[in-house]
Amino acid sequence: MPELPEVEYTARQLRASVVGATIREAQVFWDRTIGHPALPDFLAEIAGLQIEGIRRRGKFLLVDLSGDQLLSVHRRMTGNFLLLPPGWQLDTSLRELDPSAWATKGPTYHYAPAAGMTLTHEMKYCRVSFVLEDGRCLLFTDPRKFGRVELWSRSQEQLALRGLGPEPLEDDFTRDYFAAVLSGRRSVIKQVLLDQMVVAGIGNIYADEALYYAHIHPSRRADSLSAAEVELLHAGVISVLASGIEHGGTSFNDYRDLWGEAGDNYNHVHVYQQEGKPCPRCGTVIERMVIAQRSAHFCPQCQQAPTLPGETVAAEASEASEALT
């Protein structure tokens, strides 16, 4: 799932590329991608609006539009944006030729740079296309179809983004706040870091990396951390997120940036999906465990398992999937 660094990196690319452009129309190829309002209203209301700004809140990409409208996008597990230059033409012939394949793959796009020349781009899984007045197309692709695109009045922003905690890279994510919220949590620290109401934007990748930074085992109880450990973890959250943005996000499967390029941060992770490899700090083999049906990667030497009463708690198997948060 794209986490804060991946969304922020794409937001910066969009800010440099589409602010000032006008949306001529939206084309929707998977109706359920549109979460609000009803599809006919969405199509009617977004046509003709100008893109005034690009922001991010947690894992949400926010597009400020003219008319005091707000487009919110949650990419969930496999959602990506791709910006096509002018000259690409939509091909929906698969919808009639093979409806079942269409439901999975969506349309393709053809590029005709000169008369008699046509190139086909195997653009699969396009769910929404925002056609801009200048001829470019901003595509939202999503193989697993969990992503949601919603159009709101800007006055309803708090409703659209309800339940999100502070931004970890903003001033309100203080050590005092973090210490206070952890002191009241009996859950394991890995679960607490994934709770978007505690801090917005952290997912599996950066939770593992932050805990490694702070030498904290993922199964420690949140309220068992010392003041020094909380301070280290606070610094770790900020550090690994900033590094993720700097390296263009983490691509190990589906995530791509606005130009279809993979992020480089996977080459800079220390424990995430590094099971069986040596720890960069001490050489001990990285291990993996499951906490609340989620993988957790750690160094058993640098992040020693809790041994004292009150340091550990059983992980709840019913923890909701991050794809739905």
Domain ranges of the chain: 4-160, 175-324
Peptide bond into 37 cis (omega under 30): yes
| For residue 319, pLDDT beyond 50 | no
Question: Nearest 5 degrees, angle CA 133-CA 43-CA 41?
Answer: 145
- The answer on pLDDT for 211 being more than 90 is yes
Catalytic one of 76, 148, 220, 294: 294
Task: Pull the structure tokens for residue 113.
Answer: 């740079």
Following DSSP, what letter does each residue of 139-161 receive, concatenated?
A: EEE-TT---EEEEEEGGGHHHHT
Q: Supply the pLDDT for residue 148.
A: 97
| Catalytic residue check, 124 | no
Is 2 a residue of the active site? yes
Looking at residue 229, its pLDDT comes to 97
pLDDT attached to residue 306: 85
pLDDT tens digit sequence for 141-156 = 999 999 999 999 999 9
Question: What is the structure's pLDDT at 265?
Answer: 77
Within 13 A of 220's CA, how many CA atoms are on the CB side?
27
219 has pLDDT over 80: yes
Q: Which residues contact 315 (CB under 8 A, 6 or more apart)?
A: 188, 191, 219, 290, 291, 292
- The confidence band for 2, taking pLDDT boundaries of 50, 70 and 90, is confident
What was the pLDDT predicted at 257? 79
Residue 312 confidence class, pLDDT cut points 50, 70, 90: low
Instruction: Identify the band that residue 114 occupies on the pLDDT scale cut at 50, 70 and 90.
Output: low
**Residue 8, pLDDT above cutoff 60:** yes
Q: Quick check: 139 pLDDT over 70?
A: yes
Q: What is the pLDDT of residues 163-198, one digit of tens each?
A: 999 999 999 999 999 999 999 899 999 999 999 999
- CATH of 175-324, picked from 1.10.8.50, 2.40.50.140, 1.10.10.10, 3.40.50.1010, is 1.10.8.50
Which stretch of DSSP H or E encloses residue 138? Answer: strand 137-141
Query: In the prediction, which pLDDT does 146 show?
Result: 93
| pLDDT score, position 111 | 78
Q: Picking from 80-89, 132-141, 149-158, 230-239, which range would have the lowest pLDDT averaged per residue? A: 80-89
Mean pLDDT of the chain: 89
Say whether pLDDT at 308 is over 80: no
Contact predicate 71/21, CB 8 Å: no
Lowest mean pLDDT among 19-23, 197-201, 221-225, 321-325: 321-325
Question: Which pTM was predicted?
Answer: 0.87
CATH class of this structure's domain 4-160: alpha beta
Mean pLDDT along residues 238-265: 82
Catalytic residue among 3, 8, 150, 287: 3
Does pLDDT of 122 surpass 80?
A: no
Active site residue 24: no
Overall average pLDDT of the 99-122 stretch: 74
Residue 324 or residue 275, greater confidence: 275
Choosing from 57, 59, 127, 145, the catalytic residue is 59
**Of 121-135, 142-156, 254-268, which range is least confident?**
254-268
pLDDT band at 12 (very low <50, low <70, confident <90, very high): very high
Could you say which of 2, 5, 166, 168 is catalytic? 2
